[in-house]
Structure 1
């Protein structure tokens, strides 16, 4: 609500550098304050905070580095940060997880809570799909489905026209669709070029020669760069989940894939464990139909679990919260980097608190639908966190490490590179406005405190081997902030909003398996497959969960949209305009490309990338 107040004064006040607000009764949210003098001069004071009875001092909107402030303002900044550090405290809520904010969902600070519209949207989406499909009224809730086509029953009531979903359901059992998902599905980060077959996966040329189309040996195909591999070693030995109704099973498969003459990535060999031998056969495309189908299901079930807990939860949600908590603890609200990052951490602490309460708690949804036990989740997150580095959050580096620069039809890579470059250019423009030398970065005590807090406390990297504890150049700061923004926006969009497309059709990516993996060939039939797949109750919860997580919110703020104008300087406003223009060009480029494709790839189209991890 806009409110105008006149303050008559006798003397000329000069430039107004701060205003003080105090509210003694109920909380209210202040977007910004605009002060106009009788002479026509205007001063802007961005706030975008809750006023809850305490005194709040709001600085004039120009961003300031701490070393450029007056002594009075330096003391004021430090006092404000000391106060915030008491509110935003670190805690490690579960072993193996990165640290997070020490607060439950109901006790979150006002400034990081959901607004009412956001809260109702998220809570309603899960119930919508459950209610419309009548999933909670299904008879024999914990029984197996009789046939794969029975899964269509839970789609009829909620079916929404979706080209990707239509194509996937039609072709889900084909080798082409199986391979395509490693490039452009929900978890496009596991596949890598195979430069040498691991000893634990003894695939021979004789096994696969019938599937190689160029007349080359397997070794020659490897040398030509046509062989890829997906290895779920990170799951090896983790304890499987067990509920009151079901014993679930978990394994750590390895899959070899081949780039055929049609530039399709297709599977040519699957081993369902990390230990070769008589009880761990290598399944091949010319095995009987049900052996090969079940082997692929086991791979995709493992992929579902790694996606949800590592690719999605850890590498977008939890890491973004680490940066957000450190931002509140170490950066003044007038710091340009605080202003830059604020739109990209919106609602992240709140959504993570909700996830801890409803999804990954001991009795949460994921604990009911996943193959991994609660203890296994902690072990998996611990293993994955040990591999997490700042470089692993830099998109170009992730493509390079997996040697996927030339993989065909890898739209996730192509679009991701365009988005990374756009964000990097924008961040560089902003950094250049406020830092005219590398020395300015080194002298910035708040930035140095921010990266040190992330490393030592958030990621518990005491030596700074994985996450730096200081930054020395503008280029280092630019890459660091690009990684923060990219993973909170683009990377989260890429691995989140396709969940209903790829996981909603249960046989394509079973969240769990209810029978142990086969140890011999020729013993699998359709009944065994149906007894292995999630039962009716589990399928229903997967459907509701993936639907809710795949929905955009009302009044979503997409990449480049900054309605809360924290920056007031014209130079930054021009940088934002250039950023948005570049993003529009990327969107148009993706639209042109997609017109030539049977299946659109839209997850990294800027007009479908929310600014932050908020669902």
Structure 2
């Protein structure tokens, strides 16, 4: 077992207190000998201070306090840089350091030196400045001799070189996003998180295990409904899943609330006329409803001809909605395939209730494939994985943008590795519980990636404007829009405060080669060794030219890792668990003719008991929150006054935003809490 650094007793009066915090990583402690040199703002330097080890057992995350004599006759002033080295000793050599804190006893002046690095026990000196936050071309160690400045720059470049060896790109999905080739050891789940995750899954499985043995399929809808109260709880949609109003609410505050668009003219392949919608548009004609911006559309043409598991046919529907005189969004037409034809009827509320209900089920089945492949997995988990890899490869741990982004990357690579291995693999949960299967989800991710743009889809305001749904006068009730804009705005204010401080002149922006490398690799084609993002702000040749471009880029990344994932993830149990409401899988192909359905016909569409229970357990597990709320960071990276103040204001503003969401929910038809800052986590960790 590796031990922490421990207190050395001095025979002379101490004038400096050094606190050392070992990081919370496996094997983080060390038995090696630690030597430290302190540099103050007046150019004075301490003697090399030996901080002896004391063998103990529990060293991860441990703090140790040292009282030492600096050896400076007139005493040290404010310490602005530390220089330290490790010399091999004992069993555990390398050391993961969280931070040093140095206090000068006479003045009480304290300085924090975040490290957040593995330190090799090779005797080489490491240089860490106060707060350890600086741009690569502007080291704040001006009082160091030239050779030490060069050593500090060499240290920074060497760290990036090692990161590039550990963080390499690979497209695990053919034609898919850039991911990490092999999960680095530092990206693994912490032991506490891993075992908590495992225990939650075991508990859920135990809760549902006795439901399965009586029979393989459900006898009736009442039989299906009975299992929820006896196990994981009743999802809200069980009460309303047949209602047209509920179907409309799913589009504006469901698990996939980004599909709905304003419709000002019908697509040519949608076979809808005034006769089709007779009695469904109040007293308006179809043309009048379109002109008055009362019509909305969800067109899942991206699913057309998707190659799915076992060659199953997946609907590629078009759904038409009408905003009635009470400003309620109601479905008025569903066409399950893209091409007009006798074998592709248009379903409306004028059809018999169960015929219309089945059409809505097949629409939701199709949208569920889009949600899991794109809105959830593809455009948050996997797209951000490439960004994480790129950040490690190009931004030093000392870079202000690395420190700004790092809290939002916690466990992202680990959950992706586990998810693809356990859930999105041949024979895994997606294969068993979704119509598209692994074959289809990978094909759909590839299609979606070809359409996704950073400057459109990454920013809620731009995307909503693109969809025609930004204006509350056009679509008054849209909880996702209102809360997403609120939260994105708070993230942008936080990012702006930090970024503008560090890039207060155009020269700092232009000369920051790490920043420009980062952007260059973000946009570089995947086949050439980049992330391949389209639409990243900046110039194709010069890179980032304006500070606003950096702010937008960082804001979109943090927003995607927090509110983007939260909106797509945390109500999965509510939406998916009661399968008829939002069926991940249906057991028959989409109908080609209108016919009457009774309850037995509807039950035949639903998966068997084992698959239903799988859906319940996994969506419940995925809906559980694994890490802290946005702004309440698991690890502090920003220690400089500007960063600390920005984080404090961020948390205050998030509390205000949470109150606004709570007040909004009082007046909403259905509470929407998934973008409440108190609920939204910092990162994609589940």
**TM beyond 0.5:** yes
Supply the distance in 1 between the matched residues of 2:325 and 2:392 (Cα, whole angstroms).
53
1:101 maps to what in 2? 180
Supply the distance in 1 between the matched residues of 2:525 and 2:632 (Cα, whole angstroms).
31
2:325 maps to what in 1? 261
Query: How far 1:41 sits from its partner (Å)?
Result: 3.3
Q: Deviations over 1:109-153 (max 9, x none)?
A: 232111112112222333322211225743333x3x222222213
Supply the distance in 1 between the matched residues of 2:422 and 2:125 (Cα, whole angstroms).
34
Selected match of 1:607 from 678, 682, 685: 678
Cα 1:563–1:373 change in 2 (3 A) is closer
Query: How far 1:457 sits from its partner (Å)?
Result: 5.3
2:377 maps to what in 1? 313
Q: Is the 8 A contact 1:45 1:58 kept in 2?
A: no
Query: How far 1:59 sits from its partner (Å)?
Result: 1.9
1:283 maps to what in 2? 347
Supply the distance in 2 between the matched residues of 1:188 and 1:474 (Cα, whole angstroms).
31
Query: How far 1:527 sits from its partner (Å)?
Result: 2.1
2:641 maps to what in 1? 570
Q: Is the 8 A contact 1:320 1:613 kept in 2?
A: no
Query: How far 1:438 sits from its partner (Å)?
Result: 3.0
Q: TM-score, normalised by structure 2?
A: 0.83
Query: How far 1:296 sits from its partner (Å)?
Result: 0.2
1:181 maps to what in 2? 250
Q: Higher Cα Rg: structure 1 or 2?
A: 2
1:88 maps to what in 2? 167
Q: Deviations over 1:190-216 (max 9, x none)?
A: 111112111111200111021111x11
Determine whether 1:500 maps to 2:573.
Answer: yes
Query: How far 1:56 sits from its partner (Å)?
Result: 8.8
Selected match of 1:404 from 469, 479, 486: 469
Cα 1:383–1:58 change in 2 (3 A) is farther
Supply the distance in 2 between the matched residues of 1:3 and 1:193 (Cα, whole angstroms).
61
Selected match of 2:425 from 361, 364, 379: 361
Q: Is the 8 A contact 2:314 2:436 kept in 1?
A: yes
Selected match of 1:344 from 396, 401, 408: 408
Selected match of 2:659 from 588, 592, 605: 588
1:3 maps to what in 2? 64
Q: Deviations over 1:565-585 (max 9, x none)?
A: 222221221122221121111
Supply the distance in 1 between the matched residues of 2:578 and 2:416 (Cα, whole angstroms).
26
Supply the distance in 2 between the matched residues of 1:544 and 1:357 (Cα, whole angstroms).
17
2:102 maps to what in 1? 35
Selected match of 2:588 from 503, 515, 526: 515
Return the structure number with greater helix share. Answer: 1
Query: How far 1:71 sits from its partner (Å)?
Result: 4.0
Higher relative contact order (CA 8 A, sep 6+): 1
Which ranges of structure 2 fall in alignment gaps of 5 or more residues?
1-61, 140-148
Query: How far 1:249 sits from its partner (Å)?
Result: 4.1
1:430 maps to what in 2? 498
Selected match of 2:135 from 56, 65, 88: 65
Supply the distance in 2 between the matched residues of 1:133 and 1:570 (Cα, whole angstroms).
51
Cα 1:47–1:513 change in 2 (3 A) is same
Which ranges of structure 1 fall in alignment gaps of 5 or more residues?
none
Q: TM-score, normalised by structure 1?
A: 0.92
1:529 maps to what in 2? 602
Supply the distance in 2 between the matched residues of 1:97 and 1:127 (Cα, whole angstroms).
32
Q: Deviations over 1:527-574 (max 9, x none)?
A: 222111222111111111110000012xx3211113532222212211
Q: Is the 8 A contact 2:255 2:575 kept in 1?
A: yes
Deviates more, 1:37-46 or 1:530-539: 37-46
Supply the distance in 1 between the matched residues of 2:253 and 2:666 (Cα, whole angstroms).
16
SS at match of 1:562: coil
Query: How far 1:102 sits from its partner (Å)?
Result: 0.9
Supply the distance in 1 between the matched residues of 2:349 and 2:337 (Cα, whole angstroms).
18
2:302 maps to what in 1? 234
Cα 1:99–1:10 change in 2 (3 A) is same
Q: Is the 8 A contact 2:76 2:104 kept in 1?
A: no
Query: How far 1:303 sits from its partner (Å)?
Result: 1.1
